[in-house]
């Protein structure tokens, strides 16, 4: 007994000695955190002067805070401007700090709205979806945080906020995806996406990485399990690849703009004509709230054509012409570490999903977007990401555990990661890729086996983007 105890103590001391030595050699790996400055927000190089004017017009409409009486805000909404949610590090980006949804409730004109418990000052802006309806069948839809009830110009209509507390276990979140370089993503040909997905197939097979595309064909709305699919916003008749949003559920920037104007801000428009709460319409502005403006009295100077366009067309142009983020060659950690990290990113297999580069259609109508490299770090395909990330929502082909490989450009200046913003540390974001039935398990295993200094190089590379 005594002898046993003694050897236990010796073994314990040995373990401490070994780990102390390891500690002295390798400082703890850490996410260097968001880079300061602004790596994005400018128009893409090579726009014509007309395109540049359209970009500028779009930039100001994207930033504009919409009102009930002026624009048709509400009756339900998540926020009152595109830029509120797409702001970090600048207009067009992702979720900023402090959280504008938190600030809205602090403002004087917040009506009868109360702050949902999951919205905090330092947390991400969030959109909520419910997994099931009150009747227990698949819901999947967006339930807006706020209503215009009690706000200036809202009239008498009283709408309650959804009962988020009662739906505590029925809620999932989505955070805003950044828009820099979105015009390049829009112009990547389907054939190139398909060809890229077929590349490195022996290695993908070894690591059990598959990936498939969000292509929905109308007339084919049931899966083999006879489960009804959630909808995508695309044309079910053309059989082409949808690519925007966390589940690649949206076909184009114009459609996303129409959807966001309607769903995030409650502003109906020429793509989505119906007010989302017809029993309680905002009657100050006629339906649809946003449309082409052909009334000559309201068409201004010096740019009449852009005053004719509806807001959603102008938003789409702004996003289309936003330049991709500029990576840093030296920050953080210095050029040699970043270069090494970039090589490791491919070696461990991150690049099998996060494709470093695709090229746009050489025949793009906008010369500045034609035949250009897009360093997006995504294959734009859906992958099964395991039980950790499963959100129980199906959108088109994408089921609960499937997500579009998140483009990593601009990562260096982001505060929040993963579809629901659960991570603000890259190490956590990588760890979350692991789960039951995740295609990323093999690659995360290879990452885990890296030396600590190699992991640091990889993280430095990610924060250089």
Q: Which residues bind ligand HEC (CB under 6 A)?
A: 78-79, 82, 84-86, 125, 127, 174-177, 179, 182, 209, 244-246, 253, 256-257, 260-261, 264-265, 315, 319, 348-350, 352-354, 383, 385, 389, 403, 405-406, 408, 411, 417-419, 426, 429-430, 433, 439-440, 443-444, 447, 462
How would you class 283 by CB atoms within 10 Å of its CB: exposed for 0-12, middle for 13-18, buried for 19 or more? exposed
List the Cα angle 139/141/146 in 5-degree steps.
125
- Compare residues 127 and 454 and give the one whose CB is closer to ligand HEC: 127
Q: Are 128 and 145 in contact (CB under 8 A)?
A: yes
At its nearest, how many Å lie between ligand HEC and the CB of residue 54?
14
The token pair at 434 is 């692991």
- Compare residues 130 and 403 and give the one whose CB is closer to ligand HEC: 403
Q: At a CB cut-off of 8 Å and minimum separation 6, what does 184 contact?
A: 44, 324, 360, 369, 372, 374, 376
* Among candidate residues 141, 132, 221, the one with its CA nearest the CA of residue 169: 132
At its nearest, how many Å lie between ligand HEC and the CB of residue 16?
31
- Compare residues 19 and 273 and give the one whose CB is closer to ligand HEC: 273
- Compare residues 150 and 356 and give the one whose CB is closer to ligand HEC: 356
* Among candidate residues 198, 185, 240, the one with its CA nearest the CA of residue 360: 185
At its nearest, how many Å lie between ligand HEC and the CB of residue 185?
6
Say how far apart CA 446 and CA 27 lie, in whole Å.
20
At its nearest, how many Å lie between ligand HEC and the CB of residue 384?
8
* Bond prior to 33 in cis (omega within 30° of 0): no
At its nearest, how many Å lie between ligand HEC and the CB of residue 168?
20
At its nearest, how many Å lie between ligand HEC and the CB of residue 264?
4
At its nearest, how many Å lie between ligand HEC and the CB of residue 13?
35
- Compare residues 176 and 281 and give the one whose CB is closer to ligand HEC: 176
Which residue shows structure tokens 């099964």?
A: 384
- Compare residues 177 and 234 and give the one whose CB is closer to ligand HEC: 177
Say how far apart CA 57 and CA 64 lie, in whole Å.
11
Say how far apart CA 289 and CA 268 lie, in whole Å.
5
Q: Are 97 and 421 in contact (CB under 8 A)?
A: no
- Compare residues 47 and 265 and give the one whose CB is closer to ligand HEC: 265
Q: Are 396 and 242 in contact (CB under 8 A)?
A: yes
């Amino acid at each position: 007994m005594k002898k046993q105890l003694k050897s236990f103590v010796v073994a314990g001391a040995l373990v401490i000695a070994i780990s102390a030595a390891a500690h002295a050699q390798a400082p703890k790996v850490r996410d260097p955190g968001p880079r300061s400055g602004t790596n994005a927000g400018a128009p893409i190089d090579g726009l014509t002067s007309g395109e540049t004017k359209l970009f500028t017009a779009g930039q100001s409409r994207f930033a504009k805070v919409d009102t009930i009486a002026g624009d048709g805000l509400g009756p339900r909404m998540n926020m009152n401007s595109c830029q509120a949610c797409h702001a970090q590090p600048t207009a067009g980006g992702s979720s900023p700090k402090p959280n504008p949804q938190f600030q809205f409730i602090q403002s004087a004109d917040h009506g009868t709205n109360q702050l949902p418990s999951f919205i905090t000052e330092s947390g991400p802006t969030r959109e909520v979806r419910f997994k099931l309806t009150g009747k227990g069948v698949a819901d999947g839809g967006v339930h807006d945080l706020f209503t215009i009830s009690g706000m200036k110009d809202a009239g008498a209509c009283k709408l309650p906020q959804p009962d988020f507390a009662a739906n505590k276990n029925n809620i999932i979140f989505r955070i805003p995806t950044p828009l820099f370089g979105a015009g390049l993503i829009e112009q990547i040909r389907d054939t190139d996406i398909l060809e890229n997905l077929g590349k490195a197939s022996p290695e993908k097979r070894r690591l059990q990485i598959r990936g498939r595309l969000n292509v929905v064909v109308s007339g084919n709305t049931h899966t083999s399990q006879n489960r009804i699919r959630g909808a995508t916003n695309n044309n079910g008749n053309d059989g082409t690849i949808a690519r925007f949003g966390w589940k690649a559920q949206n076909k184009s920037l114009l459609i996303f703009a129409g959807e966001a104007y309607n769903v995030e801000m409650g502003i109906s428009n020429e793509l989505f004509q119906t007010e989302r709460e017809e029993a309680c319409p905002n009657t100050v502005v006629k339906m649809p709230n946003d449309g082409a403006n052909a009334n000559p009295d309201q068409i201004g100077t010096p740019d009449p054509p852009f005053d004719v366009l509806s807001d959603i067309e102008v938003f789409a142009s702004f996003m289309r012409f936003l330049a991709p983020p500029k990576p840093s060659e030296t920050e953080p950690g210095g050029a040699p570490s970043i270069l090494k990290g970039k090589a490791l990113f491919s070696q461990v297999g991150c690049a099998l999903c996060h494709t470093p580069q695709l090229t746009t259609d050489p025949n793009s109508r906008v010369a500045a977007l034609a035949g250009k490299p897009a360093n997006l770090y995504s294959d734009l395909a859906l992958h099964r990401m395991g039980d950790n990330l499963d959100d129980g929502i199906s959108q088109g082909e994408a089921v609960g555990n499937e997500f579009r490989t998140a483009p990593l450009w601009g990562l260096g200046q982001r505060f929040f990661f993963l579809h629901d913003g659960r991570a603000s540390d890259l190490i956590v974001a990588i760890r979350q890729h692991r789960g039951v039935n995740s295609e990323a398990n093999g690659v995360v295993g290879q990452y885990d086996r890296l030396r600590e200094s190699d992991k640091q190089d990889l993280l430095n590379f990610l924060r250089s983007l």
